[in-house]
Amino acid sequence: MTDDITKLARMNIQELQPYQSARRIGGEHGDIWLNANESPVSFQFKLKKKIFNRYPECQPRYLISSYADYVGIFPNQVLATRGADEGIELLIKAFCKPKKDAIIYCPPTYDMYKISAKIFDVIVKEIPTFQNTWKLDLLNIQSNLNQVKLIYICNPNNPTGNIISKQDLIFLLEITKNKSLIVIDEAYIEFSPKDSMVSYLKKYSNLVILRTMSKAFALAGIRCGFTLAQKNIIKILNKVISPYPISVPVSDIATQSLNINFIKLMESRVLDLNNNRIWLINKLKNISCVEKIFVSHANYLLVKFFMFEEIFKMLWDKGIILRNQNKKKNLEKCLRITIGTRLECSRLIEELKIFSKNNISKRGFNEK
């Protein structure tokens, strides 16, 4: 009999349910990946730097200045991180005392806010959005601000795709002045740029914005993100970030992607994906196994299906991988569909048409 060395781990880690990423749950199966909100197309890059025997800058100057120029703020308001996920963690690490302070998050939304807090043994206050409209429960949030240091809001929200109104976000910023940070995760904001809160960084010292190059910039593989805030918050986060978070190849590729020509390519790609989303919505409206399509302002759709389990498995078996959201709060029978190329979306529609035709009158849906 051997000793269980895992008992040395902290109890909250022993009990932790890790984040189920697309790759962790078998997302490499199949040939049409519509499960991770990645870009379906990419560009090839050539590294400008070929020698890697020296450590990189903690915060690469050209990368920081390039991203600051892109979003229209000062370089001292930008922190480069390993994806937006590191920004989520750094804020908890810097501002929350374990077992004493709390975060608020509003499911259904990105689970890493909750999971990161649990890793650091920080209290999690769960305040769900209103079902189907996905609007924030502002009064409930306001009455639960005791001990709360961070409020995480994803905008556009993942996986629902909705926009949180600026009026509601400003309300939160006002009621939390000098009390809490409002952290707005704008991972998908390039798909709805008019809804960004970046311009409000000048006015609100408690506003923090998370960004990533994984979505619209089609760079999920390099893991590069940014935290935007007033300079005093960035200074605090620089105290707790690891010594060399951004590798030379990552900095090189990300900086190239912020060149004006690549930005134009990104914007063209976003336009194509937004058009594909509209096309996909119109096609889904005519398929009988579709119960409801939720409005989306991002590169994915949340869709409620009749016989959703059978549909998910059927598509999986045919190599079309979606993200099952059924176990998330208020998302029963829902699947999330990343917007792919027109060819990938067409293949999805054809398989759903065949399924619907073969299952007419079953489980309560009829031919449209």
Task: Please give the share of the chain, as a percent, with pLDDT higher than 70.
Answer: 96
The H-or-E segment that residue 117 falls in is: helix 112-119
The percentage of residues in the chain with a pLDDT greater than 90, rounded to a whole number, is 87
Tell me how many domains the chain contains. Answer: 2
Contacts for 236 with CB less than 8 Å, ≥ 6 apart: 94, 95
Residue 160 and residue 191 in contact, taking contact as beta carbons nearer than 8 Å:
no
Residue 84 belongs to some domain of the structure? yes
- What is the number of other CB atoms lying within 10 angstroms of the CB of residue 357? 12
Which amino acid is residue 295, in one-letter code? V
Say if residue 218 is in the same domain as residue 281. no
Residue 64 tokens, joined? 């920081």
Q: Which CATH number goes with the domain that contains 344?
A: 3.90.1150.10
The answer to the question of residue 93 being in a domain is yes
pLDDT at 28 over 60: yes
Q: What pLDDT score does 253 carry?
A: 97
CATH number of the domain encompassing residue 192: 3.40.640.10
Q: Is the same domain home to 184 and 251?
A: yes
Question: 332 and 243: one domain?
Answer: no
Residue 43 lies in a domain: no
Distance between first and last Cα of the chain: 63
Residue range 106-128, pLDDT digits in tens: 999 999 999 999 999 999 999 99
What is the residue-averaged pLDDT of the chain?
95
Same domain, 220 and 267: no
**Are 26 and 80 contained in the same domain?**
no
Q: Per the domain annotation, does 44 fall within a domain?
A: no
Tell me whether residue 206 is in a domain: yes
List, in order, residues 6 or more apart from 307 with CB less than 8 Å away: 289, 359, 362, 363, 365
User: Is the CB of residue 191 less than 8 Å from the CB of residue 274?
Assistant: yes
Judge if 302 and 200 occupy the same domain.
Answer: no
**Same domain assignment for residues 136 and 154:** yes
Say whether both 156 and 288 belong to one domain.
Answer: no
Tell whether 211 is covered by a domain: yes
- 29 belongs to a structural domain: yes
Using alpha carbons only, what angle is made at residue 364 by residues 362 and 368, rounded to the nearest 5 degrees? 90
Last residue of a domain, one of 224, 243, 260: 260
Two tokens, residue 91: 């804020």
Residues 226 and 303 in one domain: no
Q: Are residues 143 and 177 in the same domain?
A: yes
pLDDT at site 1 = 47
| The last residue of a domain, from among 260, 275, 308 | 260
Give the integer Cα–Cα distance in Å for 16 and 88. Answer: 17
Residue 50: pLDDT over 70:
yes
- Of 226, 260, 294, the position where a domain reaches its end is 260
What are the φ and ψ backbone dihedral angles of 117, each rounded to 5 degrees? -65, -40
Same domain, 121 and 212: yes
Give the sign of the dihedral formed by CA 64, CA 68, CA 70, CA 71: positive
Residue pLDDT, tens place only, 298-352: 999 999 999 999 999 999 999 999 999 999 999 999 999 999 999 999 999 999 9
Digit-coded pLDDT (tens) for 94-105: 999 999 999 999
Residue type, 168: D
Q: pLDDT digit string (tens) for 205-254?
A: 999 999 999 999 999 999 999 999 999 999 999 999 999 999 999 999 99
In the predicted structure, residue 18 carries a pLDDT above the cut 90? no
Residue 9 structural domain: 5-38+262-355
Q: How far apart are CA 88 and CA 227, in angstroms?
A: 9
Q: Mark whether 114 and 177 lie in a shared domain.
A: yes
pLDDT at 138 over 70: yes
* 3-state class (DSSP) for residue 283: helix
Q: Is 278 exposed, middle or buried (0-12, 13-18, 19+ CB in 10 A)?
A: exposed
